[in-house]
Structure 1
Amino acid sequence: MEMTKDGFWDLIAEAKKRYGQDQDGSFQWLKDQLTILGPQQAQDFHDILHGYQQLANQYGLWSAAILICEHGCTDDGFIDFRAWLIAQGREVYLAALADPDSLAEVEAYGGCQFEELTDTGNTVLETLTGQSAYEGTDLAACNALAAELRQDIAYGGGIGYPCEWDELEAHFPRLCAKYLEPGTVESMLETDNTIWYSGSPDIQKARAGGPPQLNMNMEGM
């Protein structure tokens, strides 16, 4: 029997209920449950989690993660941040994509990164069958799954926009009030220290035209 997105979120919610901020406990419990459920469920869990991670791969959310994470947020760090976000449950995940500033109401822990969660399904599948969940992923099926998962997401205005230091407060007032040290923006501007590499074509495209108006629904990157 295939795992549904509701079944996926039920597992995430139960792990959170049982173990709270104990990520090791959550990881072990999820592995145990998927081991009981079997190889197909482990593969499905892997595919659904990675689908949600990809849908959250948005510059606006990444900008927020840079504020929240203790030591900034690299490419790999943003993968782990998105796993951490998923571990907070469906409501928090969807709210963050509608408005990343809503994460100011979520307690930060574990460095806001959950690297192990990303590989949970794969770890179980390899143990049960010796096969990798990454190799077992069907591209066409994953595209169809992504379209299904996307239906529940209402991206907020600016979700695809990579903010620079002098734009953060306008987009994330609550996160800035909570996490941004006084004088940080001024210091970064004085030293020409940018958040994003301006030579990247992807960044140039995402920033073209300047910051979008806030509180408007838009498609993601």
Structure 2
Amino acid sequence: MDTQQFWTLIDQARAGGDGDTETVAARLESALADLEPSEIVGWDRHLWRVLAASYREDLWGAAYLINGGCSDDGFDYFRGWLMAQGREVFARAVAEPDSLAESPAVRRAAATGQELEAADMIGVAFRAHLRATGAELPAADAPQPASGPEEFWDFDDEDEARRRLPKLAALFVEPPEE
């Protein structure tokens, strides 16, 4: 499974839908379950490489602002939501997390308080493999991120959020008192 195949499967699951991440995950699970077990395993390995590559302080800060907080699992689920938006949105958000302020879904979340998470996207290969083979997905060593959250900036520091993520902070952080 290569990068193009990984994202093509996600794009096919997104096609013709309303962007609902549960629908995307269900369609993706069905598509994966139709593949050879080794291809499902390959898709899962690629998923974990994508998650490791996107384990970035600034993206976690964006998730924290958007969702009003963000645990370790919450950051995985946020990146699951981000994957369900497609390769272009995902890549742009990883390169420039503040670009998420331009997303209609993020703007809606700012107005409604909706959390942007898709836990179903993280476990899609596990469920597809179980469905296709009756067996659990073989365990693998997931790539480890270079740093952990203990080394990140304090996401509750609103001044730092405004400095690092000005567009998102304008949507999610109260203006400073005069």
- Of all paired residues, the percent bearing the same amino acid is 32
Counterpart residue number, 1:76: 73
Q: Distance in 2 between matches of 1:72 and 1:19?
A: 29
Counterpart residue number, 2:99: 102
Counterpart residue number, 2:153: 162
How does 1:30-49 map onto structure 2 within 5 Å?
30-49=28-47
Question: Equivalent residue of 2:34, what SS?
Answer: helix
How does 1:103-118 map onto structure 2 within 5 Å?
103-106=100-103, 107-108=105-106, 111-118=115-122
Deviation above 4 Å: which 4+ runs of structure 1?
none
Shift of 1:134: 4.7
Unaligned segments of structure 2, at least 5 residues? 145-150
Shift of 1:165: 2.5
Q: Which has the larger radius of gyration?
A: 1
Shift of 1:25: 1.5
Count of aligned positions: 162
Contact 2:34 2:132 in 1 (8 A): no
Contact 2:13 2:28 in 1 (8 A): yes
Which structure has more relative contact order (CA 8 Å, sep 6+)? It is 2
Contact 1:68 1:175 in 2 (8 A): yes
Q: Deviations over 1:163-207 (max 9, x none)?
A: 533211111111111222335xx6xxxxxxxxxxxxxxxxxxxxx
Q: Distance in 1 between matches of 2:94 and 2:174?
A: 24
Q: Please tell me the residue identity of whatever aligns with 1:125.
A: H
Unaligned segments of structure 1, at least 5 residues? 147-159, 187-221
Counterpart residue number, 2:147: none
Shift of 1:16: 2.1
Normalising by structure 1, we get a TM-score of 0.66
Give the aligned CA root-mean-square deviation in angstroms: 2.2
Q: Distance in 2 between matches of 1:90 and 1:120?
A: 17
